[in-house]
Chain A
Amino acid sequence: MHTVGTKEGVAKRDFAPWADRGQAPLLRIEGLTKRFGAHAAVDDLSLSIYPGEFFALLGPSGCGKTTLLRLIAGFERASAGRILLDGVDLLPVPPHRRPVNMMFQSYALFPHLTVAGNVAFGLKQEGLPKAHIAERVAEMLALVRLESFGARKPHELSGGQRQRVALARSLVKRPRILLLDEPMAALDKKLRGETQFELMELQRRLGLTFIIVTHDQSEAMTVADRIAVMDRGRLMQVAPPAEIYEQPNSRWVADFIGSVNLVEGRVGPDGLSVEGTVLGRIRVAAKIAAEPGATVWAAVRPEQLRMTANSTEPDEQWALESDVAATLADIAYLGDLSVYRLRTAAGAPLQASRANVGPFAARAFAANGKVWLNFPRTAAIVLTQ
């Protein structure tokens, strides 16, 4: 099997076709642009998605992720570019002839049809024999555990049940690609968590290719094999979840995914440190891909910051040659972890987080108390843009 990324265990499962040069993509998007007036919702975007992949489009609202999904489904006309499915351009194909199906954010269930009628709708358009349709509908309803709900109308179902009908309806035609537009946005948090795992299980069992649009990063990280982070119609980074989090390629991605402490500095003469930051000299683990003296940013995730009550003598493994003193401004207790807002003596705001495990006393830091900070060399992410 292929090794992925530069870190071990970056791919969530033994599946990484994007790293294999011999593997042909199922969907290839080339230079796709969609303009609404002067505004480009999707801006010269290129992307490959592989068979069996669970792919997430993640970004802030208005970043163009839904427009991209609607372009693939055929509900929007592209201004430029190509969308190739198995090498065939989809753009001239009207939506009702495209071998992809969409699960709508609003579910878009037909209110005048029963659950079974909704699921059967797509098959009826193909003019299949009635017995065959009934069989397929029963099969799909069993798949989403709604066997006994076939005769109900959508308004007689709960939100979670409606969501499963929408899923069954979009899967019944065995689409080459299933497009999911914020499929869990209307569910409450607990149900959303369960549904995410069900969706992953379903996708693997059916061996289908899923493209999901979401603004919820934990959802994208949970379900997806790869995430495309989008901003203003462009792809910022396309990578597996762990790589997006641990090796963001820009300040924008580092800041968008999770929380991050960002400090500006210059590359040291050895190429293994960032100098002149508000935290002093930061030693890093790998050679920086920039000339000495170039401006770069060092990023540290809050959970990587080590807080100690007393200063230590850090060895070569630590990024800072001596611990930095900071005062604790605020503590947010979140149950599983606590988030600490800190301010260094130089006035730089920092954020640290700690899992709330072990005896209570061991993790107690008093607000307005003084702490000492350091972080491992390997935790320092150097960003050149």
Chain B
Amino acid sequence: MTDDAGMTTPKPRRSFVAKLVVQIPYAWLLAFFLVPFLIVLKISLSQIAIAQPPYTPVFDLAAGWHGIESFFDGLSFDNYAFLGSDPLYFVSYLKSLEIAAISTILLLIIGFPIAYAMTRAPRRLQPALVVLVILPFWTSSLIRIYAWMNILQHDGPLNRLLLALDLVREPPVWLSTNTAVYIGIVYSYLPFMVLPLYATLEKLDESLLEAAADLGCPRWKAFWLVTVPLSMSGVIAGVLLCFIPAVGEFVIPDLLGGSRTAMIGQTIWTEFFANKDWPTASAVAVVLVCLLVTPIMIFQHQTMRGNERD
């Protein structure tokens, strides 16, 4: 709020409350994002220890100034150096990015036509279609992934169907493959792709397509020249909403991909719970955050540009 030089009346009291309300999201981010992140960052700079908590140094205010000094002395980048020295982590990051990228492309290929078809459906049906897209969320995602394990198992419904249709001679192996991971991710994340795309496509002015046709542009070409460029903000939102969580996905690769698919989420889990190496696990997590900040910033930039245009 800016002060108006010409204003003589005192500011209304509620402006204080209004300011407070504006601060709430920041307070939320501070308490539940920044502080936990700083804790993780701190642990990533610590050393593993057989203690409770399992790392050192521990912040000890009782020891006074000396305690703070020795605390900072105890921090080091050793864990990050270690990550660099072991190709396991590099391969794991790469695998995660690859699986997330391919999944996101598949999601876009499947999600765009769904969102487009939804906008073309009769107006009165559209709210029902949106509910249908969200409906799977009403069941726990864990249960749905277990259901996929059942569907994809050796004598599961999928293989029985393929055999019945004579599409395969031998039942193919699905579980513990990358294909199963892709199926799981695409299935689970589809609403996150469809909804932002639908929101953008739904706003698209029909008369723009008519104008394109009027100016000599056939329908298929108008799709590429008008619909696609104007739905870019939805595409970017959907891609980021799917790509970012997919990189750190743990449950789906763990249940459907088995031990052969080592995504970064599984690596972190192993470090935390199998190796009890909290500092290394934290370092892995911090590097992941840094990797993902880049696409988020691209998204921010695009959103700002999009808002400017509206």
Inter-chain contacts of A110 with B (CB < 8 A): 208, 211-212, 226
Q: Is the CB of B309 within 8 A of A122?
A: no
The reply to whether the CB of A153 lies closer than 8 angstroms to some CB of chain B is yes
Q: How far does the alpha carbon of A96 sit from the alpha carbon of B215 in the complex, in Å?
A: 6
Q: Is the CB of B216 within 8 A of A108?
A: no
Q: Which of B207, B216, B218, B310 contacts A126 (CB 8 A)?
A: B216
The reply to whether the CB of B10 lies closer than 8 angstroms to some CB of chain A is no
Contact size class for A?
A: 20 to 34
Inter-chain contacts of B205 with A (CB < 8 A): 106, 108
Whole-angstrom distance from the CB of A183 to the nearest CB of chain B?
14
Majority secondary structure of chain B interface residues (helix, strand, loop or mixed): helix
Q: How far does the alpha carbon of A12 sit from the alpha carbon of B250 in the complex, in Å?
A: 79
Q: Is the CB of A75 within 8 A of B210?
A: yes
Q: Is the CB of A96 within 8 A of B207?
A: no
Q: Is the CB of A96 within 8 A of B214?
A: yes
The reply to whether the CB of B217 lies closer than 8 angstroms to some CB of chain A is yes
Q: Which of B211, B221, B230 contacts A108 (CB 8 A)?
A: B211
Q: How far does the alpha carbon of A110 sit from the alpha carbon of B211 in the complex, in Å?
A: 9
Q: Is the CB of B208 within 8 A of A108?
A: yes
Q: Is the CB of B215 within 8 A of A104?
A: no
Inter-chain contacts of A173 with B (CB < 8 A): 215-216
Whole-angstrom distance from the CB of B226 to the nearest CB of chain A?
6
Q: Is the CB of A104 within 8 A of B207?
A: yes
Whole-angstrom distance from the CB of B229 to the nearest CB of chain A?
5
> Considering only CB atoms, which chain B residue lies closest to A175 in the complex?
B214
Q: How far does the alpha carbon of A126 sit from the alpha carbon of B211 in the complex, in Å?
A: 15
Q: How far does the alpha carbon of A110 sit from the alpha carbon of B227 in the complex, in Å?
A: 10
Q: How far does the alpha carbon of A191 sit from the alpha carbon of B211 in the complex, in Å?
A: 24
Q: Which of A73, A96, A111, A155 contacts B218 (CB 8 A)?
A: A96
Q: Is the CB of B210 within 8 A of A95?
A: yes
Q: Which of B216, B229, B310 contacts A125 (CB 8 A)?
A: B216
A94, A106, A121, A126: most-surrounded residue (chain B CB, <10 A): A121
Question: Considering the complex, which residues of chain A in the window 121-142 have a beta carbon less than 8 Å from any beta carbon of chain B?
Answer: 121-122, 125-126
What is the interface size of chain B, counting residues whose CB is below 8 A from a CB of the partner?
A: 20
The reply to whether the CB of A205 lies closer than 8 angstroms to some CB of chain B is no
The reply to whether the CB of B289 lies closer than 8 angstroms to some CB of chain A is no
> Considering only CB atoms, which chain A residue lies closest to B211 in the complex?
A108
The reply to whether the CB of A112 lies closer than 8 angstroms to some CB of chain B is yes
Q: How many A-B residue pairs have CB under 8 A?
A: 63
The answer to whether A104 and B216 touch (CB under 8 A), given A110-B226, A155-B309, is no
Q: Is the CB of B217 within 8 A of A121?
A: yes
The reply to whether the CB of A41 lies closer than 8 angstroms to some CB of chain B is no
The reply to whether the CB of A101 lies closer than 8 angstroms to some CB of chain B is yes
Inter-chain contacts of B310 with A (CB < 8 A): 155
The reply to whether the CB of B88 lies closer than 8 angstroms to some CB of chain A is no
Q: How far does the alpha carbon of A109 sit from the alpha carbon of B216 in the complex, in Å?
A: 15
Q: Which of B208, B211, B216, B309 contacts A97 (CB 8 A)?
A: B216
Q: Is the CB of B215 within 8 A of A153?
A: no
Q: Which of A95, A106, A112, A122 contacts B207 (CB 8 A)?
A: A106
Q: How far does the alpha carbon of A173 sit from the alpha carbon of B210 in the complex, in Å?
A: 16
Question: Considering the complex, which residues of chain B in the window 162-212 have a beta carbon less than 8 Å from any beta carbon of chain A?
Answer: 205, 207-208, 210-212
The reply to whether the CB of B213 lies closer than 8 angstroms to some CB of chain A is yes
Interface string of A168-190 (1 = CB under 8 A from B): 01100100000000000000000
Q: How far does the alpha carbon of A121 sit from the alpha carbon of B212 in the complex, in Å?
A: 8
Q: How far does the alpha carbon of A20 sit from the alpha carbon of B205 in the complex, in Å?
A: 43
> Considering only CB atoms, which chain A residue lies closest to B221 in the complex?
A125
Q: Is the CB of B216 within 8 A of A122?
A: yes
Q: Is the CB of B214 within 8 A of A102?
A: yes
Q: How far does the alpha carbon of A170 sit from the alpha carbon of B225 in the complex, in Å?
A: 18
Inter-chain contacts of B230 with A (CB < 8 A): 111-112
> Considering only CB atoms, which chain B residue lies closest to A119 in the complex?
B215
Q: Is the CB of B216 within 8 A of A96?
A: yes
Q: Is the CB of B210 within 8 A of A112?
A: no
Q: How far does the alpha carbon of A12 sit from the alpha carbon of B243 in the complex, in Å?
A: 66
Whole-angstrom distance from the CB of A97 to the nearest CB of chain B?
7
Q: How far does the alpha carbon of A75 sit from the alpha carbon of B209 in the complex, in Å?
A: 10
Q: Is the CB of A169 within 8 A of B210?
A: no
> Considering only CB atoms, which chain A residue lies closest to B218 in the complex?
A96
Inter-chain contacts of B215 with A (CB < 8 A): 96, 101, 121-122, 125, 169, 173
Extra pairs beyond A96-B213, A112-B230, A125-B216 (13, CB < 8 Å): A96-B217, A96-B219, A102-B211, A104-B211, A106-B205, A106-B207, A109-B211, A112-B309, A122-B215, A125-B217, A126-B216, A155-B310, A169-B215
| Listed A/B pairs (21) with beta-carbon separation below 8 Å | A73-B210, A75-B213, A95-B214, A96-B213, A96-B215, A96-B216, A101-B214, A104-B207, A104-B211, A106-B205, A106-B207, A108-B207, A109-B211, A110-B211, A121-B212, A121-B225, A125-B217, A126-B216, A155-B310, A169-B211, A169-B215
